[in-house]
Amino acid sequence: MKEISITTQFSVFESIEELSNDIQNLMNEAIAIRKKAYAPYSKFRVGAALLLDNGKIVLGSNQENAAYPSGLCAERVAIFHAGAIYPDAKILKIAITAASDTNQTKAPIPPCGSCRQSIAEYEIKQETPIEIYFMGEIGVIYQSASLKNLLPFMFDKKFL
């Protein structure tokens, strides 16, 4: 038997004020759209803001549905919208924030598995890393230079 070790690295920011101005703006956009999420069942609201290489910011919030799993996560709403209206643009950065209606989220909330796979698809397609920033409602913000830190064994078209 052989073992392998995989190391990932994240930057940790103690508050939004520690972020650069452009990332502060992106995270504030994610916070604003998070508050508009449609989450009557989980009471868990997520907002995502994408910065594209054309300078545009594309937003998404989670959209639930009584017929699970027909809803969609904030990250995929934003990514698919960006892909539809700016098909040639690259995603440079994603800011994600999550909050519960029932308790305060203090720990950074990363993208779920389905969202990680969707981000991976675009990172591979555009052949450049996507910086990912994520936080709860309050507290520290984690920054990853690439999705590969969150999903080191990515499934992509080379396996098909």
66 is in an annotated binding site: yes
1: in domain: no
102: in domain: yes
pLDDT of res. 156: 82
Burial of 52 (0-12, 13-18, 19+ CB in 10 A): middle
54: in domain: yes
156: in domain: no
68 is in an annotated binding site: yes
67 is in an annotated binding site: yes
3: in domain: no
Query: Would you say 59 and 35 are in contact if contact means Cβ atoms under 8 Å apart?
Result: no
Active-site amino acid positions: 75
Residues 69-113 have pLDDT tens digits of: 889 999 999 999 999 999 999 999 999 999 999 999 999 999 999
Residues 4-58 have pLDDT tens digits of: 999 999 999 999 999 999 999 999 999 999 999 999 999 999 999 999 999 999 9
25: in domain: yes
63 is in an annotated binding site: yes
18 is in an annotated binding site: no
pLDDT of res. 89: 98
* CATH code, domain carrying 72: 3.40.140.10
14 is in an annotated binding site: no
Residues 111-152 have pLDDT tens digits of: 999 999 999 999 999 999 999 999 999 999 999 999 999 998
Query: Would you say 46 and 78 are in contact if contact means Cβ atoms under 8 Å apart?
Result: no
Domain range holding 74? 11-150
Distances (CA, A) of 119 to 2, 36, 122: 30, 22, 5
The total number of structural domains that make up the chain: 1
Long-range contacts of 26-30 (CB under 8 A, 24+ apart): 26/51, 26/57, 26/93, 26/95, 26/133, 27/95, 27/97, 27/133, 27/135, 27/141, 29/57, 29/59, 29/95, 30/59, 30/95, 30/96, 30/97
107 is in an annotated binding site: no
Its pTM surpasses 0.75:
yes
6: in domain: no
Strands 131-135 and 11-13: unpaired
Name the strand (E) or helix (H) holding 34.
helix 21-34
4: in domain: no
- For residue 91, the one-letter residue type is I
